[in-house]
Protein backbone atom coordinates (compact mmCIF):
# COMPACT_ATOMS: atom_id res chain seq x y z
CA UNK A 1 0.00 0.00 0.00
CA UNK A 2 2.87 2.36 0.76
CA UNK A 3 4.10 2.02 -2.83
CA UNK A 4 0.68 2.97 -4.15
CA UNK A 5 0.53 5.95 -1.80
CA UNK A 6 3.86 7.11 -3.21
CA UNK A 7 2.51 6.76 -6.76
CA UNK A 8 -0.57 8.87 -6.08
CA UNK A 9 1.32 11.33 -3.90
CA UNK A 10 -0.95 11.00 -0.89
CA UNK A 11 -0.43 9.27 2.48
CA UNK A 12 -3.56 8.03 4.22
CA UNK A 13 -4.17 8.71 7.88
CA UNK A 14 -6.71 5.89 7.80
CA UNK A 15 -5.23 3.27 5.49
CA UNK A 16 -8.32 1.07 5.86
CA UNK A 17 -10.07 3.47 3.47
CA UNK A 18 -7.54 2.68 0.76
CA UNK A 19 -7.84 -1.05 1.46
CA UNK A 20 -11.61 -0.75 1.16
CA UNK A 21 -11.23 1.11 -2.15
CA UNK A 22 -9.23 -1.79 -3.57
CA UNK A 23 -11.63 -4.53 -2.40
CA UNK A 24 -13.79 -5.89 -5.20
CA UNK A 25 -17.21 -7.35 -4.43
CA UNK A 26 -15.97 -10.85 -5.39
CA UNK A 27 -13.43 -10.73 -2.54
CA UNK A 28 -15.96 -9.26 -0.13
CA UNK A 29 -18.41 -12.05 -0.96
CA UNK A 30 -15.79 -14.71 -0.24
CA UNK A 31 -15.06 -13.07 3.14
CA UNK A 32 -18.63 -12.16 4.06
CA UNK A 33 -18.39 -13.93 7.42
CA UNK A 34 -15.56 -11.59 8.40
CA UNK A 35 -17.63 -8.54 7.44
CA UNK A 36 -15.28 -7.36 4.70
CA UNK A 37 -16.95 -4.50 2.75
CA UNK A 38 -16.60 -4.07 -1.01
CA UNK A 39 -15.61 -0.83 -2.72
CA UNK A 40 -19.04 -0.31 -4.31
CA UNK A 41 -20.18 2.44 -1.92
CA UNK A 42 -16.87 4.27 -2.35
CA UNK A 43 -17.20 3.90 -6.12
CA UNK A 44 -20.63 5.57 -5.95
CA UNK A 45 -19.20 8.52 -4.03
CA UNK A 46 -16.05 8.77 -6.15
CA UNK A 47 -18.05 8.93 -9.38
CA UNK A 48 -19.88 12.04 -8.13
CA UNK A 49 -16.72 13.67 -6.76
CA UNK A 50 -14.86 13.13 -10.04
CA UNK A 51 -17.74 14.55 -12.06
CA UNK A 52 -18.01 17.61 -9.82
CA UNK A 53 -14.28 18.43 -9.83
CA UNK A 54 -13.99 18.00 -13.60
CA UNK A 55 -17.15 20.02 -14.31
CA UNK A 56 -16.02 22.81 -11.97
CA UNK A 57 -12.60 22.93 -13.64
CA UNK A 58 -14.04 23.07 -17.15
CA UNK A 59 -16.59 25.73 -16.20
CA UNK A 60 -13.91 27.97 -14.70
CA UNK A 61 -11.19 27.47 -17.31
CA UNK A 62 -13.17 27.19 -20.56
CA UNK A 63 -15.56 30.19 -20.71
CA UNK A 64 -15.33 30.02 -24.51
CA UNK A 65 -17.14 26.69 -24.76
CA UNK A 66 -20.92 26.10 -24.91
CA UNK A 67 -22.65 23.54 -22.70
CA UNK A 68 -22.60 20.82 -25.36
CA UNK A 69 -18.83 20.97 -25.80
CA UNK A 70 -18.27 21.06 -22.04
CA UNK A 71 -20.42 17.97 -21.67
CA UNK A 72 -18.49 16.06 -24.34
CA UNK A 73 -15.10 16.98 -22.85
CA UNK A 74 -16.24 16.01 -19.35
CA UNK A 75 -17.52 12.69 -20.69
CA UNK A 76 -14.15 12.01 -22.36
CA UNK A 77 -12.28 12.81 -19.13
CA UNK A 78 -14.40 10.69 -16.78
CA UNK A 79 -15.27 7.78 -19.09
CA UNK A 80 -14.17 4.22 -18.41
CA UNK A 81 -11.37 4.39 -20.95
CA UNK A 82 -9.87 7.47 -19.31
CA UNK A 83 -10.03 5.88 -15.85
CA UNK A 84 -8.49 2.66 -17.15
CA UNK A 85 -5.52 4.72 -18.39
CA UNK A 86 -5.16 6.12 -14.86
CA UNK A 87 -5.36 2.62 -13.37
CA UNK A 88 -2.75 1.29 -15.78
CA UNK A 89 -0.38 4.17 -15.08
CA UNK A 90 -0.61 3.35 -11.36
CA UNK A 91 -0.53 -0.43 -11.95
CA UNK A 92 -3.67 -0.42 -9.83
CA UNK A 93 -4.67 -3.92 -10.91
CA UNK A 94 -1.82 -5.47 -8.95
CA UNK A 95 -3.13 -3.95 -5.70
CA UNK A 96 -6.73 -5.14 -6.06
CA UNK A 97 -8.30 -7.66 -3.70
CA UNK A 98 -10.28 -10.05 -5.89
CA UNK A 99 -12.11 -13.28 -5.30
CA UNK A 100 -10.31 -16.38 -6.55
CA UNK A 101 -12.61 -16.88 -9.52
CA UNK A 102 -12.45 -13.25 -10.60
CA UNK A 103 -8.68 -13.22 -10.21
CA UNK A 104 -8.21 -16.38 -12.27
CA UNK A 105 -10.60 -15.01 -14.89
CA UNK A 106 -8.44 -11.98 -15.61
CA UNK A 107 -10.26 -9.55 -13.34
CA UNK A 108 -7.15 -7.48 -12.63
CA UNK A 109 -7.14 -6.36 -16.26
CA UNK A 110 -10.91 -5.98 -16.59
CA UNK A 111 -11.61 -2.35 -17.61
CA UNK A 112 -14.78 -1.97 -15.52
CA UNK A 113 -13.06 -3.25 -12.36
CA UNK A 114 -10.06 -0.97 -12.88
CA UNK A 115 -12.21 2.10 -13.56
CA UNK A 116 -14.41 1.41 -10.53
CA UNK A 117 -11.32 1.07 -8.34
CA UNK A 118 -10.04 4.47 -9.48
CA UNK A 119 -13.36 6.09 -8.51
CA UNK A 120 -13.32 4.28 -5.15
CA UNK A 121 -9.75 5.41 -4.52
CA UNK A 122 -10.73 9.04 -5.19
CA UNK A 123 -13.56 8.73 -2.67
CA UNK A 124 -11.15 7.26 -0.13
CA UNK A 125 -8.81 10.25 -0.54
CA UNK A 126 -11.78 12.61 -0.17
CA UNK A 127 -12.96 10.96 3.05
CA UNK A 128 -9.45 10.85 4.47
CA UNK A 129 -8.13 14.24 3.41
CA UNK A 130 -11.01 16.37 2.16
CA UNK A 131 -11.97 17.98 -1.13
CA UNK A 132 -8.67 19.88 -1.49
CA UNK A 133 -6.58 16.72 -1.49
CA UNK A 134 -8.80 14.84 -3.92
CA UNK A 135 -8.97 17.88 -6.19
CA UNK A 136 -5.15 17.89 -6.40
CA UNK A 137 -5.16 14.19 -7.20
CA UNK A 138 -7.81 14.52 -9.91
CA UNK A 139 -5.88 17.39 -11.49
CA UNK A 140 -2.71 15.31 -11.57
CA UNK A 141 -4.25 12.02 -12.74
CA UNK A 142 -7.09 13.20 -14.97
CA UNK A 143 -7.12 16.90 -15.77
CA UNK A 144 -3.50 17.00 -16.91
CA UNK A 145 -4.82 15.01 -19.89
CA UNK A 146 -7.44 17.64 -20.72
CA UNK A 147 -5.88 18.87 -23.96
CA UNK A 148 -5.72 15.34 -25.33
CA UNK A 149 -9.23 14.55 -24.12
CA UNK A 150 -10.63 17.79 -25.55
CA UNK A 151 -9.94 16.38 -29.00
CA UNK A 152 -11.28 13.01 -27.89
CA UNK A 153 -14.46 14.71 -26.72
CA UNK A 154 -15.32 15.88 -30.23
CA UNK A 155 -18.22 14.04 -31.78
CA UNK A 156 -16.47 12.94 -34.95
CA UNK A 157 -19.46 11.07 -36.36
CA UNK A 158 -21.49 14.29 -36.32
CA UNK A 159 -18.54 16.28 -37.66
CA UNK A 160 -18.10 13.80 -40.52
CA UNK A 161 -21.80 13.88 -41.34
CA UNK A 162 -21.65 17.68 -41.54
CA UNK A 163 -18.62 17.56 -43.83
CA UNK A 164 -20.06 15.17 -46.37
CA UNK A 165 -23.48 16.82 -46.43
CA UNK A 166 -21.93 19.87 -48.05
CA UNK A 167 -22.51 17.99 -51.32
CA UNK A 168 -25.78 16.39 -52.27
CA UNK A 169 -26.15 12.65 -52.69
CA UNK A 170 -23.40 11.61 -50.26
CA UNK A 171 -24.06 8.39 -48.33
CA UNK A 172 -22.13 7.45 -45.18
CA UNK A 173 -22.12 3.97 -43.66
CA UNK A 174 -20.12 2.02 -41.07
CA UNK A 175 -18.92 -1.57 -41.38
CA UNK A 176 -17.56 -3.88 -38.68
CA UNK A 177 -14.37 -5.50 -40.00
CA UNK A 178 -13.24 -7.58 -37.06
CA UNK A 179 -13.18 -8.42 -33.35
CA UNK A 180 -10.25 -9.53 -31.21
CA UNK A 181 -9.35 -10.17 -27.59
CA UNK A 182 -11.03 -12.07 -24.74
CA UNK A 183 -14.68 -11.47 -23.86
CA UNK A 184 -13.84 -9.11 -20.99
CA UNK A 185 -11.53 -6.97 -23.16
CA UNK A 186 -12.90 -7.07 -26.70
CA UNK A 187 -11.48 -4.77 -29.36
CA UNK A 188 -13.67 -3.94 -32.36
CA UNK A 189 -12.43 -2.75 -35.75
CA UNK A 190 -14.64 -0.54 -37.89
CA UNK A 191 -14.51 1.17 -41.31
CA UNK A 192 -16.49 4.19 -42.44
CA UNK A 193 -17.52 4.31 -46.08
CA UNK A 194 -18.51 7.24 -48.26
CA UNK A 195 -20.53 6.12 -51.27
CA UNK A 196 -19.18 2.56 -50.71
CA UNK A 197 -15.52 3.72 -50.63
CA UNK A 198 -13.54 3.37 -47.39
CA UNK A 199 -12.44 6.79 -46.07
CA UNK A 200 -11.39 5.87 -42.53
CA UNK A 201 -10.87 3.00 -40.10
CA UNK A 202 -10.42 2.68 -36.34
CA UNK A 203 -10.63 0.46 -33.29
CA UNK A 204 -12.30 0.69 -29.90
CA UNK A 205 -13.49 -1.23 -26.84
CA UNK A 206 -17.06 -0.95 -28.13
CA UNK A 207 -18.59 -0.70 -31.58
CA UNK A 208 -19.60 2.89 -30.86
CA UNK A 209 -16.05 3.79 -29.82
CA UNK A 210 -14.68 2.10 -32.95
CA UNK A 211 -17.11 4.07 -35.12
CA UNK A 212 -15.90 7.31 -33.52
CA UNK A 213 -12.28 6.31 -34.17
CA UNK A 214 -13.05 5.55 -37.82
CA UNK A 215 -14.96 8.80 -38.19
CA UNK A 216 -12.04 10.73 -36.63
CA UNK A 217 -9.64 9.23 -39.18
CA UNK A 218 -12.00 10.21 -41.98
CA UNK A 219 -12.47 13.76 -40.66
CA UNK A 220 -8.73 14.32 -40.35
CA UNK A 221 -8.25 13.05 -43.90
CA UNK A 222 -11.01 15.24 -45.33
CA UNK A 223 -9.77 18.27 -43.39
CA UNK A 224 -6.22 17.63 -44.62
CA UNK A 225 -4.79 16.90 -41.16
CA UNK A 226 -3.88 13.26 -41.67
CA UNK A 227 -0.17 12.43 -41.31
The reply to whether 227 falls in a domain is: no
Element containing residue 202 per DSSP (H, E): strand 197-204
pLDDT digits (tens, 9 = 90+) for 53-91: 999 999 998 888 888 888 888 888 898 888 998 999 999
88-137 per-position pLDDT tens digit: 999 999 999 999 999 999 999 999 999 999 999 999 999 999 999 999 99
In terms of pTM, does the model score above 0.85? no
Tell whether 177 and 131 lie within a shared domain: no
Residue 116 marked as a ligand binder:
yes
Pick the catalytic residue from 47, 146, 191, 209. 47
| 43 annotated to a ligand binding site | yes
Q: Is 19 tagged catalytic?
A: no
Selected catalytic residue, list 64, 67, 119, 144:
119
Length of the chain: 227
Residue 81's domain comprises: 2-152
- My answer on whether 72 and 167 are in the same domain is no
The answer to whether 47 is a known catalytic residue is yes
Is 14 annotated as ligand-binding?
no
Burial of 94 (0-12, 13-18, 19+ CB in 10 A): exposed
For residues 59 and 144, membership in a common domain is answered with yes
Domain boundary among 105, 137, 152: 152
Amino acid sequence: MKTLEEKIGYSFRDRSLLENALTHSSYANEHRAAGVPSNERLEFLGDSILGLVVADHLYRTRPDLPEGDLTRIRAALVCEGSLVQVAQALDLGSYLKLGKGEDHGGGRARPSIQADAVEAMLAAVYLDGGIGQVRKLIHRLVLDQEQEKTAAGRDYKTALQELVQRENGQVLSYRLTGESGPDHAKVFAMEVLLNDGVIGSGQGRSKKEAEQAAAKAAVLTLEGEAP
